[in-house]
Amino acid sequence: MYKVNEVFETIQGEGSFTGAAAIFIRLQGCPVGCSWCDTKHTWEIKDTLRQPLGDIVIKTAETEHWAEVSPAELLALFATEGYQAKHVVITGGEPCMYDLNPLCHILHQHGYSTQIETSGTFEVKAPADTWVTVSPKVNMAGGYTVLQSALDRANEIKHPVAMEKHVDELLQLLQRTDTTAKLVYLQPISQQRRATELAIAMCKRYNFRLSVQVHKYLGIS
C-alpha cells in the first residue's frame, strides 16, 4: 500500500524525459527538508488527513491530504480516468521511503515504463528496468546523506543549483560513482535568472546538460 498525495497526467518537464506525456504518482512523506522544496505539502503524513482515492484525484489545489492505495487500485485508476500516457513518474515527497517493486512490476506488466525521482537519501527499491533520477540533496535540514547505492543506481543525476557551491557539491558526489553511462543535469532552482546563467555556464564548462523545468515555464502541473 502506498500513501498517495496526487495522481495526474501531464508532460514531464525535467531531465531526460522532458516533453514526454506522463502519469505522475506523488507519494506522501519526506523527512529530507529541502529549503526550496516546492512540494512541502507532501512532507508530513497526518492520519487525520487520509481521504478516499476518489477525493485525491479531483483535488484542485495542493493539500496535505493523502489516500492509501494498492498497486492494483492505481492501475485501475488509470483506466477509469482515461489516461493515455504510458510513462509513469513516481515522485514525492520522497518515493524511496517505500518499496516500489510491487508498483513498478504491475505497471511494467501492463505496458508502462516507470521512472523514480528521488533525493538519493533512501535505498532505491525498484526493478532494474525502472529509470532512476537522483536529484541529490546535500546538507539539508533533515540531516540525511546521499547514499552510495543511490548514486550507483541512478540512470541520471539531476542536481539543483543556485550558487557555485552547489556545483562543487555535485562534483564531489560524481567522484564517488562511475558516470560513464549516466546523464548529468544541472537544474536552476526556482527559475532564478542568476541560477540559470550559472547552470548554463557550468554545463558548458563540465559538459553537463541543462534541465529547466519546462512545465513551470508553460504554467502546467
pLDDT digits (tens, 9 = 90+) for 111-167: 999 999 999 999 999 999 999 999 998 888 888 999 999 999 999 999 999 999 999
Per-residue pLDDT tens digits for 84-117: 999 999 999 999 999 999 999 999 999 999 999 9
* Rounded-to-integer distance, Cα 147 and Cα 143, Å: 12
Residue 203, marked binder: no
Bridge pairing between strands 2-11 and 131-134? unpaired
Question: Which fold would CATH assign to domain 2-159?
Answer: TIM Barrel (3.20.20)
CB atoms under 10 Å from CB of 34, counted, come to: 18
Residue 11, marked binder: yes
Residue 113, marked binder: no
**What pLDDT shows up at residue 16?**
94
Domain ranges across the chain: 2-159
Residue 66, marked binder: no
Residue 38, marked binder: yes
* Rounded-to-integer distance, Cα 18 and Cα 214, Å: 7
Residue 104, marked binder: no
The pTM (predicted TM-score) of the whole model is 0.94
Residue 196, marked binder: no
Residue 93, marked binder: yes
